[in-house]
Amino acid sequence: MIISHIKHIESDNNTWKIQSDDDHNRGVAELASNFASSFGFAGFGSVLGLLHDKGKEQVGFQKYIKGITGYCPELVSSPRTPHAFVGALLARRFYPQLYPLLSYCIIGHHAGLPDYGDFEETMKKAIPSEIKIEFPGVNPIIPANFKLGKEDFHHLIRLLYSCLVDADFLDTESFMDENNARLRLKKASLSDLNFKLESFLSNLKRNTQSSEVNNIRNEVKELCIKSAEDSPGFYSLTVPTGGGKTISSIVWAIKHAIKYSKKRIIIAIPYTSIITQTAHVLRSIFGEENVLEHHSNSDLHQIQNKQLALKMKLATENWDYPIVVTTNVQLFESMFSNKPSSCRKLHNICNSVLILDEVQTLPLQYIQPIIDSLKSYQRIFGTTVLFTTASLPALQGEIRYGKTPDALLKGIAEIKEIMPPSAKLHERLRRVNIHFDEFRSSYDEIVSRIHKHDRVLCIVNTRKDAQEIYTRLPKEGLTLHLSRMMCSAHILKTINKLKESLADDRNKIIRVISTQLIEAGVDIDFPIVFRQEAGLDSILQAAGRCNREGKLGISDSYVFRLEKPLPKGYISNAADAQKTLDKDSDWFDPKTMVNYFVQLYSRTLTFDKANIKDYLYKPLNFSFETAAKEFKLIEENSQSVIVNYGNSVDLISKLQKEGPNYNLMKELGQYSVNVRDADFMLLKKFGLVETVIEDVYFVSEREQYSDDIGLTIGSHWLEEILIK
């Protein structure tokens, strides 16, 4: 058989397996059409697939692929020939009114979506003479009543792009690796998972003792079941800590998804510590094989079934899984990415249920483009959004926080709250009185107050404050420190140790000093909690770790102020916003929380730090690449280092011998700590940082990593010399 244009070549025992360019394009067209049909753009998906690799008909490209694969060894030195621009030019020729929706995607299907200037330069090229110019035979139609605002266009292009690149990867995989392709096909439906959920709920009802708190949790669950019947849109589940929010939200999501034929449930969470806990709960309900964790510290090596581990690794590429648990960073940075590897998953957010847990933690400096993106996904792409929190921020309607025209947060028109005001959960679940210090205290004075209690949690704002208080506190019983100077594996081990100790009544003394990593979503219960001054949302989250089960009647949470001022920026703004509220306010009342956020908004300089409105809200003049670089929810004034903890030394040795691969880098991610650039330079100055490979740094000295407080920045050698 003579194949004029070759797409893929694979050799197996000197037998050549060849996929033609036409076969590949048709396969991609079919998949992309199916993906894009979920938001009414099936015809666009077909055109993208049929045109994306037309450039591979060039003689130069055919020589290149035959040479690099060894099919024609004499052509091994043939240069790589650019090809993506050809399909983009053909799209403009055949569809002059629609081509930007097509050509951006085709140009970027390998290198990434470009900025407008680069796009225009590429579109000035000519179609090579050897390309066969023929109409694809498809007339893409924009759905009737389909209206796009300026905030929507770039998402539509990105979603079409997602359909194309995922289809391209999958068709290539089906040809090159049939085993992996088969693994992707074996997934449970949400209807299947509903049976598991009903079984879990029946067992829970049988085995749960009657109490006021458990009765309220059951009431919340029943209201969620009833609300799940309501039409798709934006919803909120505002339940005080301890009210059963996690279980009730998944019940709502499953029921709503089945009612309205949604494809999957995606849960986005701010902190990996909460993700691990939530994923554990979900796996206990639905089985390990049905819950995908996708975040930087997820370790697939812990899964005993290697085929299941591979299946989950494949699912992290495109989120084609019934339940996905991920981070806010992974979700929103993907929504604004321009790279095929990140955008590949986006079409699988369409027609799904998206749960945003602890929504109050969304960064205000990026909140406007985040809100705009959620509105686009809900209105255009069929995604139902559920906000879950104990302290819902002000996100509904237009909120003026200043006098200028720009001082306006354009929120969501309607968010349906599942819990009616008549439920009065903030009153019925009140288990804590919050006391605010009017005076400032030294570290030693705070330590003295903490030391008076046998079981006590103290939450502070910075890593330095956590270390200062912890090192001063007498080490009696179980005294623990938690901060991001500890790697994720260490944090998880410490939290698990804490939970086990709290469950054992024989452990009388348990004192914990932590940064805010523990205050949201971690199921722990202390009779007394201290919280350094902060925003009201953080104060309430900390109070949620106090008397969680209500067994102590009403307990106490103390908000203290240290002698030194708070760091400039968000923390001090949030604390100042709380101080403007009436001192007699009911701190747990949702109305108080709305007032607090309006005060906080007035202290926020921008809600669009990445300038998304300038880069992406000008139709047909998009700066995809620049916007992706700017939209980073985690500030890049820090550097990640691998620390000497657990089996990190063995993994580093393996990395040096074998080079990087996906599984190895995921394992190493559990042993990384992000340090400020200044601290990184200090570690380098002392000769404590080794460069393993490019951008992978290792602090190999075991003495630099404490089992109590994690990574120490100063040189232990220098300290020993000074002591001597």
Q: What is the DSSP string of 262-280?
A: ---EEEEES-HHHHHHHHH
Q: What is the per-residue pLDDT for 12?
A: 60
Q: What is the per-residue pLDDT for 300?
A: 55
Q: What is the per-residue pLDDT for 723?
A: 30
Higher pLDDT, 719 or 181: 181
For residue 722, is pLDDT > 50?
A: no
pTM (predicted TM-score): 0.89
What percentage of residues in the chain have a pLDDT greater than 90? 59
Q: What is the per-residue pLDDT for 451?
A: 96
Tell me if 190-394+414-423 shares its fold with 431-587: yes
d(CA 609, CA 630): 8
Q: What is the per-residue pLDDT for 72?
A: 80
Q: Which CATH class is domain 431-587?
A: alpha beta
Q: What is the per-residue pLDDT for 123?
A: 95
For the ranges 110-124, 500-514, 518-532, the maximum mean pLDDT occurs at 110-124
d(CA 361, CA 270): 7
Q: What is the per-residue pLDDT for 303?
A: 59
The chain-wide mean pLDDT, for the chain, equals 88
For residue 532, is pLDDT > 80?
A: yes
Domain boundaries, the chain: 6-176, 190-394+414-423, 431-587, 638-723
Q: What is the per-residue pLDDT for 299?
A: 53
d(CA 559, CA 566): 14
Q: What is the per-residue pLDDT for 306?
A: 64
For residue 111, is pLDDT > 80?
A: yes
d(CA 198, CA 373): 33
Of 338-347, 440-449, 634-643, the poorest mean pLDDT is in 634-643
CB 25 within 8 A of CB 54: yes
In the predicted model, what is the mean pLDDT of residues 503-520?
Answer: 87
CB 454 within 8 A of CB 678: no
What percentage of residues in the chain have a pLDDT greater than 70? 93
DSSP string, 583-638: TT--TT-HHHHHHHHHHHHTT-S-S-TT-HHHHHSSTT--BHHHHHHH--SS-SSE
In the predicted model, what is the mean pLDDT of residues 25-51?
Answer: 96
Please write the tens of the pLDDT for every residue from 446-495. 999 999 999 999 999 999 999 999 999 999 999 999 999 999 899 989 99
Task: Give the DSSP letter of residue 231.
Answer: P
Q: What is the per-residue pLDDT for 335?
A: 97
Q: What is the per-residue pLDDT for 450?
A: 97
Q: What is the per-residue pLDDT for 308?
A: 67
For residue 695, is pLDDT > 50?
A: yes
CB 339 within 8 A of CB 628: yes
Q: Virtual CA dihedral for 544, 545, 550, 552, nearest 10 degrees?
A: -130
For residue 5, is pLDDT > 80?
A: no
Please write the tens of the pLDDT for every residue from 203-250. 988 888 878 888 889 999 999 999 999 999 999 999 887 788 889 999
For residue 19, is pLDDT > 80?
A: no
Residue 682 CB burial class (10 angstroms; 0-12, 13-18, ≥19): middle
In the predicted model, what is the mean pLDDT of residues 668-672?
Answer: 90
Per-residue pLDDT band at 305 (split at 50, 70, 90): low
CATH of domain 190-394+414-423: 3.40.50.300
d(CA 627, CA 472): 46
For residue 313, is pLDDT > 80?
A: no
Going by C-alpha positions, the residue among 345, 351, 380, 382 that lies closest to residue 142 is: 380
